[in-house]
Amino acid sequence: MEALTSRSAQVSRKPMSLAERLFLPAIFKGMGITFSHIFKKQPTIRYPEQRREFSPVFRGLHVLNRDEEGRERCTACGLCAVACPAEAITMEAAERLPGEEHLYREEKYAAVYEINMLRCIFCGLCEEACPKDAIYLSETFAPANYTRKGFIYGKDDMVIPNVKTDPEGFAKAKGSPRNN
């Protein structure tokens, strides 16, 4: 019968030689490979203390942005939700009342804005769809948990700290500029 691949090898049924029956040469050869790795560069990092540098295109948890005056940029236009392939985004819009101009940039805003992080596939299409530069994917990933609760992120979890009232929190959320 013709072999299916060119790499198939015939099984050898020959009795083992003395050196093979001792097993020691094979054991030392294997241990030699193992010990040689002690002197090689470690590919692992010690995670909580050490963190791996993310790629510049890394897409993590979402951030809802504010403008330079600290007003929320999101106008609940629904384009992120319609672009979302996993249908993870839901929102409810409301009209800005007189006196709320310092909170919301436009006359309409998202009163409720939720992303189900269990559904989200972090594709970044919401970021691309947003006409108001309101949503960004940050460099943090969603923390692990044992239950499903806590994976629905609301506005409290996502809106960036206000640059006017909480400049320190804003600077921390913004992070340091990348060198590359």
Partner 1 sequence: MSDTTLFKVTIDNISIDVPAGTTILNAARMIGGDVAPPAMCYYSKLEGSGGKCRTCLVEVSKGSEKDPRPMPKLVASCRTTVMDGMEVKNITSPKVVDARAGVVEFLLLNHPLDCPICDQAGECHLQDLSYEHGKEGTRYEFQRRTFKKHDLGKYIQLHMTRCILCYRCVFAADQLTGKREHGILDRGDHSEIATMIEKNLQNDFIGNVIDVCPVGALTDKTFRFKNRVWFLKPMNAHRDCPTCSGKVTLWNRGEEVFRVTARKDQWGEVEDWICNECRFEKKQSSDWTIEGPRLIDRHSVISQGHYAGTVGTHMPTETIEAVLNGRKPKLLMDIHEVSEVNRPKIELSKINGPAHSNNFNPDND
Burial (CB count within 10 angstroms: exposed 0-12, middle 13-18, buried 19+), residue 126: buried
Out of 20, 53, 69, 92, name the contact with partner 1 by CB under 8 A.
Answer: 92
Interacting positions 108-127 with partner 1 (CB under 8 A): 108, 111-112, 114
* Measured distance CA(93)–CA(70) in Å, rounded: 19
Out of 97, 146, 165, 177, name the contact with partner 1 by CB under 8 A.
Answer: 97
Least spacing, CB of residue 146 vs partner 1, in Å: 13
* Measured distance CA(165)–CA(143) in Å, rounded: 27
Least spacing, CB of residue 173 vs partner 1, in Å: 22
Out of 51, 148, 164, 174, name the contact with partner 1 by CB under 8 A.
Answer: 148
150 close to 105: Cβ distance less than 8 angstroms: no
119 close to 128: Cβ distance less than 8 angstroms: no
Interacting positions 55-74 with partner 1 (CB under 8 A): none
Q: With respect to partner 1, which residue has the nearer C-beta, 150 or 167? A: 150
Residue 76 is a binding residue for partner 1 (CB under 8 A): yes
Q: With respect to partner 1, which residue has the nearer C-beta, 106 or 139? A: 106
Supply the DSSP string of 35-80, one letter for each residue: HHGGGSPP----TTTS-PPPPTT---SEEE-B-TTS-B-----SHH
Least spacing, CB of residue 116 vs partner 1, in Å: 8
Judged by the rule CB under 8 A, the positions of this chain that interact with partner 1 are 75-79, 81-82, 90-95, 97, 100, 106-108, 111-112, 114, 131-132, 148-150, 152, 154
